[in-house]
Amino acid sequence: MKLSRQILAVNAVLITATVLAASVVARLRVEDVGSSRQSLVLVAAILATVLVNGLILRRRFAPLESIIDTMERVELSEPGVRSAMPSADSEEVVRLHHAFNRMLDRLELERRQSSEAVLRAQEAERARLARDLHDEANQSLTGVLLRLRAIEHDAPDALQAELRATAEATSMAMSELLRLARELRPSALDDHGLQAALRTQVDGFARATGVDASLQVEPDVGELGTDEQIVVYRVVQEALNNVAEHAEAKAVSVELRRADGRKMLRVTDDGRGFNDAAAAAPGLGITGMRERARLAGGRLRVRSRPGSGTVVELTL
């Protein structure tokens, strides 16, 4: 039972008991009351008192109900929900309202800081692995390849074909390592900027999948910070991976432009789409994209319907 109803029930019992006790103290006889309209007046007074008491309690508890509704709507993955200032003159209710909003501020700040720390550590680890793959593993394979070429030059004819095949396999391994290193930390992003990195990514996606992919970056986008560039690049990377693995699309477009004074990235495909219930599927990586969007103070939206393609929209 709600607290307001419990208090109303207790008050009703107290009012009735008080009336009965007052009747006993006043030595009011039952036949005196029953023989006149006093009984009706007495019952009406009791009911009216209980009704007014119920209305007052309902009004006084309304701000608490509003705060409870806000508590039930709060999702840390969708920040910004706050309790509205209650229209009450109760100090306790106002303090509860401010304390609840301060708690949400702290939780969102801690979540944002922890997400930033995790994502920055992830990017730093990716950069380290990319350097190791490029500088250590790839150089070692280069030495192996040169050695194989030298051996092939002086080897008997019976071994030259096998040595050439081994050298080709080594070259393929080097190419795969370079590709992995670029995916872990694109050198174009550090050396030539975001637009060149996106161009390399989109063109590579088109060559690998055969999907008609286009990139459009409007000149008025403006400069993006380091975190914003990483977030944009990773969102495009994850969205294109989803298109390649799940969408069965024939065309995909990547747009980076300014809309309503904000920087906006949009990745659109004409694939098979999915239901909203599938948006949280681990294989789609949408949760990770949303976390990255929050790292740069942005917001990610995914719109999709079966048979109507998918739109991934990042607003910074």
pLDDT digits (tens, 9 = 90+) for 231-250: 898 899 899 998 998 888 99
Domains of the chain by residue range = 3-71, 121-184, 192-315
For residue 311, what pLDDT is reported? 93
d(CA 296, CA 120): 11
CA angle 127, 290, 199 (to 5 degrees): 55
For residue 2, give the DSSP letter: -
CATH number of 192-315: 3.30.565.10
d(CA 212, CA 310): 15
- 263 beta partners: 258
For residue 202, what pLDDT is reported? 92
C-alpha distances in Å from residue 246, one per residue of 83, 86, 291 = 40, 47, 21
Number of H helices, E strands in the chain: 10, 5
- Who's near 178: CB < 8 A, 6+ residues apart? 133, 134, 138
For residue 206, what pLDDT is reported? 93
For residue 78, what pLDDT is reported? 67
C-alpha distances in Å from residue 42, one per residue of 6, 10, 34, 243 = 24, 19, 11, 76
Average pLDDT over residues 33-48: 69
The amino acid that residue 85 corresponds to is: M
